Structure 1
Amino acid sequence: MIGNKPTLAVKKREIFGWAMYDFANSSYTTVVVTFIYSAFFVNYIVPPELAHLKNTFWSIAVALSTALAIILAPFVGVLCDFSGNKKQFLAWCTLASVLGTAGLFFVDPGQVGLGLLFLVISNTGWMLSESFIASFLPELATRKNIGKVSGIGWGIGYIGGLLSLLLMFRIITSSAQLDVAAYIDENQLAMIFIALFYALGALPTFLLVRERAQPQPGFANAKLTTLLKAGTERILAMKGLVEEYPVLFRFFIAFMVYSAGISVVVKFFGIYAQEEIGITGSTLVLIGATLQLSSMIGAIGFGFLEDRLGCKSTILLSLLWWLLGIIGIYGLTPLATLFGLSQESMFTVLAFVAGSALGATQSASRALVGLLAHPKDSALLFGLWGTFGRFAIIIGMSFGPISDLLGRHTALLFIMLYFILGALMLMAVPIGKALRSTVNDVSI
């Protein structure tokens, strides 16, 4: 569990440096996964003769990278805990993601296999890095401000996502209808700029955040083979870890279910907007910017609210907000008619509503893990948090084949189901009782 004070005095510049990693890696998930490259991949990299499988190909890219992250995250996490070298492992994951992103520059139309390769490399590195940067949170925050600090990190992250989208405005200027060759070239070039954005944005993290993790007794300067052996034994003893953190693992299950709904929104937003509603080009980027802005407001605003209401109540409130947004998108046509708006305008409003819940749900979930995880197991438990989040993505990727079979509009019902089930499961988790046994003044 997180204590009243970190073991070393935390400087404000360290919190800034930590939050800057969210700023940096948000460029990847915003541009590559959610808004720009996802739609470009299914429409221009996948050849016309395979167009009936384009959503499935995208699901394969996400599912494969997710499976790798599931396998690697707990293992690398426990190596971090034993060796005390979290920053080093974070650096390697960052490098993999940056190089994989830059590799997308070389993928031409029809080269689906090469595109899948670089997507898997970049997305796996991004997923692992997300878990490891989160494991620094309990070291930099107290139990009284962890929600606020986590919210500020997510908020700054969405600023990074917003700026990366605005950068796309300057790079992708051609119309696919008027000059498809130029449009393809610009989308490829954009990947180089996103790789640079990611790498340069992450530098403050490595320059400003101090490594507080200490090698566990007997593992100072241990050889890699020794760490691998100890890490394997720790993972094989997972049953004991579940017994040590029963409430946290119950939360992981609920988190996995509602995160499946979030993963669909993040991974298919650009595709849905472009192919179901007909939003393309600068309009899609503008709606993406709107979503990033609302996510930033939600992450920071709910972060301050979180320290008053508690993490569990904040998550439940955000899930209700999600439901309202998805229900609105499902009834987009009659809703737009009711308010006298075009479908594009109504979709933008609903994206703002859903976006404000995005940052809140993710920030509060991360903060809750920080409250329940003991510092000696922080990297491992945040790695497991990431693992359950990756399982959620695999579950959510059923949206691809379901939408190919039933249509995207009908498939939206599955997203609602994930949020409802996740909320019901979370309500049954006795998080307050678990915290009161160790921290009497934490409100959940």
Structure 2
Amino acid sequence: MAETLPATAEDAPPSTRHERVGWYFYDWANSAFNTTVITVFLGPYLTSIAKAAAGCASDDPCRGQRIGLLGIDIAPGSLFPYMVSLSVFLTVFVLPMVGAVADRSAHKKEMLALFAYIGSAATVGLLFLTGDRYLLGAGLFLIANIAYGASIVVYYSFLPQIAGPEDRDSVSSIGWAIGYIGGGLLLAINVAAVLFKDSLGMDTGEVARYSMVSAGIWWAAFTTIPLIRLRNRPPVAGPAQGPLLIDGFRQLWHTLRSLKAYPLTLFFLIAYLIYNDGIQTVISLSAVYGTEELKLSDDVLVPTILMVQFLAFAGALGMGALAKRIGAWKTILISLVLWTVVLAVAFRLPANEEIPFVLLGGGIGIVLGGSQALSRSLFSQLIPKGKEAEYFGLYEISDKGTSWLGPLLFGLAYGMTESYRVAIISLLVFFIVGFVLLLAVPIRRAIVAAGNVPPARL
């Protein structure tokens, strides 16, 4: 049996390259769900299913028609953003509890496998999303997105155990970069299916459905690599007081209370939850905006989003290199300024014109990877020792694909105005407020207050 490492990276011998590569590959595995399902296909496809249920044609703006959701009548175009918000509202309660359990478990690999395979199975179930079964699609998405978020919490909790403070920005950035390559590679295959759908004898809806199924299969298949290479370690927190699940809820309450002792960590977390909610909303709803407002076809939309994935790979590495020179905190602040520019340009994009949309996609790709990777590594410096998974449970509330205030605001803005342009520009508030709050965090003092050693540059 392999020798287990101490709970924290500072006290542990360096992790092996073999193990780090295994850790990177869960980014490769799960990014297919985030890219193919959330970012590209599910939003427009589920919207078309909802419009069919409302009796609208696929090219009909469907103004005035409504569908039922949990006893409430909503516009078909609001269904997907509302479901994103609902799934994340539920994860607010689930993910911190998952993190608390992970910190007390010596079987984090098994927890990772459980949530990854539940999520991938629900994604494969989208094969049956046909006709007007929008409630089936909504339910499967809820299961998949919650399981996805839970698996990410467990995955992130390995980061402080495999990388010390000086290496964490680099390790996190490499993981994000590899994730974009993995998600982009599968998307490239699906782009080919979109472009050659006539030769394959399929329509756009069938290509979308099978592409989403392929993401579930990809997620499940490549999860085996981190499960083989990562090592279980002793619990980083004290033993459970009673059944592990019940103790997880108890520890969640203690985690929330303990944040009062680390107000600067809490302040950073609030800033992150706000600005990353905006980032995630732009990512998850860009395909809907491009299809419904800009009237772009899949032949333009899908290759552009594919381009974003590969540019995000370069952006994650490039901004990681910039962080080594000026620090992660300053680099994130620069990225938030660039995000406000992206939204302003998106609001002014003309309909039915391909080149401006492609150029905007290039801008998104450059800032996307770095802002997320550096936020993850910076937050890991602000976590008290022994609380990695439970604090990442709070962090994951607004991480990959798990924003909720942004989609809710987007859905409400569209529901009230029936204008996707108003909906997209409303997201500016997240970047402006997030920037101001992050700027106010004394980051070096926050790291020291959490009991950690700050890196040379911040």
> What TM-score comes out, normalization by structure 1 length?
0.90
Q: 1:276-295 to 2 correspondence within 5 Å?
A: 276-295=293-312
Task: Pick from 378, 383, 387 the counterpart of residue 377 of structure 1.
Answer: 387
Cα distance in 2 for residues equivalent to 1:425 and 1:203: 39
1:18-55: CA deviation from partner (whole Å, max 9, x where unpaired): 11111111110111111122211112454142644222
Residue 252 of structure 1 and its aligned partner are, at CA, apart by: 0.9
Cα distance in 2 for residues equivalent to 1:175 and 1:288: 18
Residue 419 of structure 1 and its aligned partner are, at CA, apart by: 0.4
Look up the match of 2:160. Answer: 138
1:138-172: CA deviation from partner (whole Å, max 9, x where unpaired): 11111111111111110011001111111113434
Q: 1:280 and 1:25, CA in 2 relative to 1: closer, same or farther beyond 3 A?
A: same
Task: Pick from 414, 431, 443 the counterpart of residue 431 of structure 1.
Answer: 443
Q: 1:14-33 to 2 correspondence within 5 Å?
A: 14-33=19-38
Look up the match of 2:265. Answer: 248
Q: 1:15 and 1:284, CA in 2 relative to 1: closer, same or farther beyond 3 A?
A: same
Cα distance in 1 for residues equivalent to 2:239 and 2:145: 34
Alignment-mate amino acid for residue 294 of structure 1: L
Cα distance in 2 for residues equivalent to 1:125 and 1:232: 18
Task: Pick from 184, 205, 214 the counterpart of residue 235 of structure 2.
Answer: 214
Residue 436 of structure 1 and its aligned partner are, at CA, apart by: 4.3
Cα distance in 2 for residues equivalent to 1:271 and 1:239: 36
Q: 1:46-85 to 2 correspondence within 5 Å?
A: 46-47=51-52, 48-49=54-55, 51=62, 52=65, 53-85=75-107
Alignment-mate amino acid for residue 421 of structure 2: H
Alignment-mate amino acid for residue 362 of structure 2: F
Alignment-mate amino acid for residue 291 of structure 2: Q
Alignment-mate amino acid for residue 29 of structure 2: A
Look up the match of 1:266. Answer: 283
Residue 390 of structure 1 and its aligned partner are, at CA, apart by: 8.7
Residue 188 of structure 1 and its aligned partner are, at CA, apart by: 2.2
Look up the match of 2:426. Answer: 414
Q: 1:330 and 1:192, CA in 2 relative to 1: closer, same or farther beyond 3 A?
A: closer
Q: 1:413 and 1:440, CA in 2 relative to 1: closer, same or farther beyond 3 A?
A: closer
Look up the match of 1:339. Answer: none
Look up the match of 1:124. Answer: 146
Cα distance in 1 for residues equivalent to 2:209 and 2:179: 24
1:217-270: CA deviation from partner (whole Å, max 9, x where unpaired): 445xx8xx5223432332222454113322111111111111221122112111
Task: Pick from 400, 411, 431 the counterpart of residue 411 of structure 2.
Answer: 400
> What TM-score comes out, normalization by structure 2 length?
0.88
Cα distance in 1 for residues equivalent to 2:333 and 2:102: 32
Look up the match of 2:123. Answer: 101
Tell me the secondary structure at the aligned position of residue 166 of structure 1: helix
Q: 1:350 and 1:420, CA in 2 relative to 1: closer, same or farther beyond 3 A?
A: same
* Bigger Cα displacement from structure 2, 379-388 vs 274-283: 274-283
Cα distance in 2 for residues equivalent to 1:440 and 1:35: 38
Q: 1:182 and 1:240, CA in 2 relative to 1: closer, same or farther beyond 3 A?
A: closer
Superposition misfits of 4+ residues, deviation over 6 angstroms: 178-181
Cα distance in 2 for residues equivalent to 1:239 and 1:404: 34
1:165-185: CA deviation from partner (whole Å, max 9, x where unpaired): 111134345669x99974333
Listed as ranges, the gaps of 5+ residues in structure 2 are 1-6, 57-61, 66-74
1:61-105: CA deviation from partner (whole Å, max 9, x where unpaired): 212221221111111111111123222211111011100100000
Listed as ranges, the gaps of 5+ residues in structure 1 are 337-341
Alignment-mate amino acid for residue 219 of structure 2: Y
Cα distance in 2 for residues equivalent to 1:403 and 1:233: 39
Q: 1:337-376 to 2 correspondence within 5 Å?
A: 343-376=353-386
Residue 195 of structure 1 and its aligned partner are, at CA, apart by: 1.3
1:329-376: CA deviation from partner (whole Å, max 9, x where unpaired): 22224xx9xxxxx83111111111122211111111110121111341
Residue 442 of structure 1 and its aligned partner are, at CA, apart by: 3.5
Alignment-mate amino acid for residue 413 of structure 1: I
Q: 1:142 and 1:186, CA in 2 relative to 1: closer, same or farther beyond 3 A?
A: same
Q: 1:312-351 to 2 correspondence within 5 Å?
A: 312-333=329-350, 343-351=353-361
RMSD: 2.5
1:402-443: CA deviation from partner (whole Å, max 9, x where unpaired): 123321112232222210110001111121212245425442
Cα distance in 2 for residues equivalent to 1:33 and 1:239: 30
Cα distance in 2 for residues equivalent to 1:327 and 1:215: 45
Cα distance in 1 for residues equivalent to 2:309 and 2:197: 24
Q: Is the 8 A contact 2:311 2:366 kept in 1?
A: yes
Cα distance in 1 for residues equivalent to 2:382 and 2:291: 41
Residue 297 of structure 1 and its aligned partner are, at CA, apart by: 1.1
Residue 391 of structure 1 and its aligned partner are, at CA, apart by: 11
Residue 191 of structure 1 and its aligned partner are, at CA, apart by: 2.7
